[in-house]
Structure 1
């Protein structure tokens, strides 16, 4: 399992390829064919996960009851949101056009380590989100971690 942290400003090339920052790339565990799992986030961002993290979640989903219509609808929506991408020898991943459009990604993007996964954001959208969150950060820190500051 990789531990990802930090905020990096990165560039997309004309083909929609993103070079992962060296610190994040070095935290990636070995995976078959350098595969990573890229999905639409619940917010307007993309989530990049390792093979191991994706398989853990898939295992949990496999235990859900497929005779339940809500489960089937959820799984359909869940798996439609994710694709496998391959990191090339230069450390780049190709982001498909539909995912670029979903996250409103253009030339410059923010790549953020979030513990067990990586988020890829339109920098302006992330900055707006950050301003909203900072207002409540101290309260959340205390509520979730029991700490002040």
Structure 2
């Protein structure tokens, strides 16, 4: 499970060093793709295979499912961390997420998210009040 918040830098070659706590699970390979809210989603290869099995079950007759799958999968890139635990972020994904030098990498349970640091701060500021004031069940069975 991926947890926590980290602040690595993007190097001049478009690579990021994976947080130490994430390395074991991601060392055999990752799949990164467009995430919602203009961040990147990073999955272990195993987790992405499980996700893909679920995705394949979406009805081809659903336009919403087709549209979502096209955007989600067309941006996917399989990467393998190097010996220094760096992983390259393809240019199209860097552009999609507006990634510059300062990054915020968060653990989001089954995936890692990579954000431009200023975009993350804006998002977090906007969402904290809603989070603090939630009075009804958002995730069934959680509280």
Bucket of the pairwise TM-score, normalised by the shorter protein = 0.7 to 0.9
**Structure 2 stretches lacking a partner, 5+ long:** none
RMSD over equivalenced CA pairs, Å:
1.8
Partners of 1:98 and 1:25 in 2: CA distance? 24
| Structure 1 residue runs without a partner (length 5+) | none
State the TM-score, normalized to the length of structure 1.
Answer: 0.84
Instruction: Work out whether 1:18 is the aligned partner of 2:11.
Output: no
- Conserved in 1, the CA contact under 8 Å of 2:34 and 2:72? no
Partner of 1:78: 72
- Contact 2:15–2:86 under 8 Å retained in 1: yes
Aligned residues: 139
Note the 1:117-136 alignment, pairs <5 A: 117-136=111-130
> Where do 1:96-107 residues align within 5 Å?
96-107=90-101
Question: What SS does the corresponding residue of 1:140 show, helix, strand or coil?
Answer: coil
Q: Are residues 44 and 75 of structure 1, via their aligned partners in 2, closer, same or farther at CA, if it must alter by over 3 Å?
A: closer
Deviation at 1:82, TM superposition (A): 1.1
Question: What's the CA shift for 1:89?
Answer: 1.3
1:69 Cα deviation after fit: 5.8
Question: How many Å separate the matches in 1 of 2:38 and 2:71?
Answer: 16
User: TM (normalized to structure 2)?
Assistant: 0.87
CA contact (8 A) 2:105 2:112 kept: yes
